[in-house]
Amino acid sequence: MALAEIKLSAKRAWQNAFIRWNLIGDLLVVIFAGSFFLWRLIPEGLRSDVLVMHYNIFLGIDNVQTWWWIILVPVAMLGVLILNYLLAFYLFRFDALAAKTLAGLTSVLIAVWCVSSFFLMLVNI
């Protein structure tokens, strides 16, 4: 597929209201939730030098890392968002339903990430 065809597919996808508003909403949620997450946890990490990265109700705390690893959580979610939407833009010309489904599932994934980030903040603070 030539670069011109990929641009055309992305342009058509951007013209679709569902994908456009989903992308804008998802991007705002990731930026604001990630900023709040880092705003709450970086000072705590600087005080104690370590943060809990994973908590399991059955085993308890099973992963403790140095504080700067916490930056990976919102950066990874932003990377997943960008990758999923690039794939959705690419797929839109061939299968609009698959592209819309990928955009919708990205929103669900971001919601799950926000809930897990909230509980990760509760364990650390």
Give the residue-averaged pLDDT of 90-114.
Answer: 91
Q: Does 124 score more than 90 pLDDT?
A: no
Length of the chain: 125
How far, in Å, CA of 58 to CA of 73, rounded? Answer: 23
Q: Does 1 score more than 70 pLDDT?
A: no
What pLDDT is stored for residue 27 in this prediction? Answer: 94
Q: What is the pLDDT of residues 29-88, one digit of tens each?
A: 999 999 998 898 888 888 888 888 777 777 767 777 787 788 888 899 999 999 999 999
More confident residue, 115 or 54: 115
More confident residue, 54 or 99: 99
Question: Residues 31, 83, 103, 74: is their CA dihedral positive or negative?
Answer: negative
What pLDDT is stored for residue 22 in this prediction? Answer: 93
Nearest one of 81, 63, 65, 77 to 116, comparing CA atoms: 77
Mean pLDDT of the chain: 86
| Domain locations in the chain as residue ranges | 3-124
Quote the pTM value. Answer: 0.81
